[in-house]
Each structure stands twice: as C-alpha cells, then as structure tokens.
Amino acid sequence: MDKLLDKALGAYLGFAIGDALGATVEFMRPREIEAQYGVHREIIGGGWLKLARGHVTDDTTMSLALGASLLQGGCHALDRFVSGDDALVRSIGDAYVLWFKSKPVDCGNTCRRGIMRYMHDGTLAGPYNPGDAGNGALMRNLPAVLATLGNDTVFERLSIAQARLTHHHPLSDAATLGIGELLRHLLTGAAHCECQSWATNWCKQNPAFRFVPYRSRASAYVVDTVQTVLQFLTLHDDFEAALVATVNQGDDADTTGALVGMLAGTRCGASRLPQRWLHRLQVDIVRTITDQTSGLLALANGLNA
Ligand code: MN
Ligand code: MN
C-alpha cells in the first residue's frame, strides 16, 4: 500500500478504535476502571451508553458526516470554498443536521446547541461563547485535515469553518489547528521523537495546553483533552501502549482515546494497527472509513494540482 494512504488509513481507523475502546470507560474515574477491569484493554462495548461491542460513538460518526459532506461536494465545492464561497460550509452544517436527526448514540451539549442554531437561523457560527471550550470541534476535524493535506491556508480556513458551526472559542480554535498541524506532520512521516519536539514547541506558543507536569485530567474541556492526548502520545511510541494508557484515565475516554488513536495510528500506519482491535470494529464503519480516506486524499490532490 502507498505510504501516505497507509498513514491516513491508520489515522482514521486508529481514531475509530480509540472511540470504541474508550467508550466503555467514558465518565469513569481511573480508580473505578481499575476496580472493574484491572487495566481496560479490550473492545467490549458497554459503558454508560450501553454500546454494542465494536460500535463507535458520536466522535466517529460526526467525523464521517464531515467526511461525507466534503466528498459529496468534491473538488468543485472545495475550489469554490477557496475562492470565498460559503456553500461548502453550509453543506457541512446540513450534514451535521442530518447526523443529529439520525438519533446518534450521543451528542455533546455544545454540538447540539450549535446544530440547533444552524437549523434555526442558518448562521455558520454563533458569537464567541466562554462555554464553547469543549473538545467537540477538535474531535471531528480529521476529514478536513485529509482533504486539505499540502495546503496550509485551506487547512486552516476549512478547520476553523467546520469548528465554528458549533464552537466559538479561541481555545477550541487553537486546539483544532494545533492537533490538525501535528496530524499533518505525522502524515508526512514524522516519527515519535518529532512528536515530542513538536509538542514542546507548540506548547511554548500555546502555554494553556502545557502538559508537563501532567495534571491527570482527561475531561471534555479542550485544554484537559489536549494535555492528555499530548502526554500519552509523547510518552509511548507504541500504538497499543499509548491508547491503553490514555483510556485508563477515564473521563472523556472515548474522545481522548480517539485522538490518541488517530495520532498514534498515523505514526504506525494501518498495516501495523493491532489486528484484534481492527477486527472487532463494525464492518460497515471500517468500509466507510476506508472509502472516505482514499476519497479525501484525492480531494487534497485535486486541490494542489
Ligand atoms: Mn463520544
Ligand atoms: Mn466523549
């Protein structure tokens, strides 16, 4: 398999694996996880959502909604977005509405409020809101990174546009761009040691996210989420070790798990993802992710042609 495709597929499948693994222990305390599972390391479903084994949550299905809308618009819609037309952002808003109406297993409060606002008045962003510093915009940005790979300006504009449909807060924006930038580095072949130097430099410019010493908070507050993700991604080179350490922190474990799965999965590529986890994922989710990944990379190719 082509090296970039292997890494991009590692990102998207790693994301879904982290979501499915973490969902079991979402909102649990580390001590509760330890009492119930010892170390939680298998995709077994359950948790507060009573998830079927191998199923994913809003993190993955909302990303798939974004990916589907980008693919539906194709090169033409992306070109028009580049020249200032907002039709693509409206179609992303429409995709979030469709997703919301499909009765997803879960939906964060800020995402729900943003989607309802878009349904009500069609605006592409709400005003700045101090309560919008959750991780909901960051968590679903992977398809925007793939579709704009190789073009810094469009990556930033599309990421912020999709994010602001539901979240308007500088910390949400900074995290969405920062983790997106790290994902872009990893897709072009950055290794474990380069993750560490990237994180050190980025945190100098964005001190709110500094994760050393780690405070062991893994909540849906985007600062806690990013600190947890960077902590375990830089601590462990190995995909499984990084992901197990992350989800056993509990709290927003499906989202921290999805993001670590995405970044560590890019580092190792799809071909080196643990097979027992990959085979547990819902077959149609794996198929949709595989289709979207090559389609989104083709969009990026068209954008840079
Ligand atoms: Mn979730
Ligand atoms: Mn979550």
How far CA 50 is from CA of 105, 139, 208, in Å, comes to 9, 21, 34
Ligand 1 center to 255 CA (angstroms): 6
Give residue 229's pLDDT: 98
Tell me the CATH number for domain 3-42+53-304.
Answer: 1.10.4080.10
179: pLDDT strictly greater than 90:
yes
Give residue 305's pLDDT: 82
Q: Which residues surround ligand 2, an ion (CB under 5 A)?
A: 252, 254-255
- Spell out the domain ranges in the chain: 3-42+53-304
Give me the half-sphere count of Cα atoms (radius 13 Å) on the Cβ side of residue 250.
Answer: 17
State the Cα–Cα distance between residues 142 and 287, nearest whole angstrom. 17
Ligand 2 center to 59 CA (angstroms): 7
Instruction: Kindly report, residue by residue over 68-123, the tens digit of the pLDDT.
Output: 999 999 999 999 999 999 999 999 999 999 999 999 999 999 999 999 999 999 99
pLDDT band at 34 (very low <50, low <70, confident <90, very high): very high
Ligand 2 center to 243 CA (angstroms): 15
Question: Could you tell me where the DSSP H helices lie in the chain?
Answer: 3-23, 30-37, 58-82, 87-101, 109-121, 136-139, 142-147, 152-164, 170-187, 192-205, 222-235, 239-247, 253-268, 275-278, 283-304
Ligand 1 center to 303 CA (angstroms): 31
4: pLDDT strictly greater than 90:
yes
Ligand 2 center to 177 CA (angstroms): 19
Give residue 35's pLDDT: 98
Give residue 271's pLDDT: 98
Q: For residues 140-176, b (16+ Cβ closer than 10 Å) or e, as one string?
A: bbbbbbbbbbebeebbbbbbbbbbbbbbbbebbbbbb
Ligand 2 center to 254 CA (angstroms): 5
304: pLDDT strictly greater than 90:
no
Q: What is the mean pLDDT of residues 254-276?
A: 98
pLDDT band at 1 (very low <50, low <70, confident <90, very high): confident
Ligand 2 center to 23 CA (angstroms): 7
Ligand nearest to the CA of 63: 1
Ligand 1 center to 57 CA (angstroms): 5
State the Cα–Cα distance between residues 25 and 287, nearest whole angstrom. 26
Ligand 2 center to 148 CA (angstroms): 26
Ligand nearest to the CA of 255: 2
Ligand 2 center to 44 CA (angstroms): 17
Ligand 1 center to 71 CA (angstroms): 23
Give residue 108's pLDDT: 96
Q: What is the mean pLDDT of residues 206-222?
A: 97
pLDDT band at 178 (very low <50, low <70, confident <90, very high): very high
pLDDT band at 199 (very low <50, low <70, confident <90, very high): very high
Give residue 133's pLDDT: 98
pTM to 2 decimal places: 0.98
Q: What is the mean pLDDT of residues 148-152?
A: 97
% of the chain beyond a pLDDT of 70: 100
175: pLDDT strictly greater than 90:
yes
Ligand 1 center to 107 CA (angstroms): 7
Ligand 2 center to 226 CA (angstroms): 13
% of the chain beyond a pLDDT of 90: 99
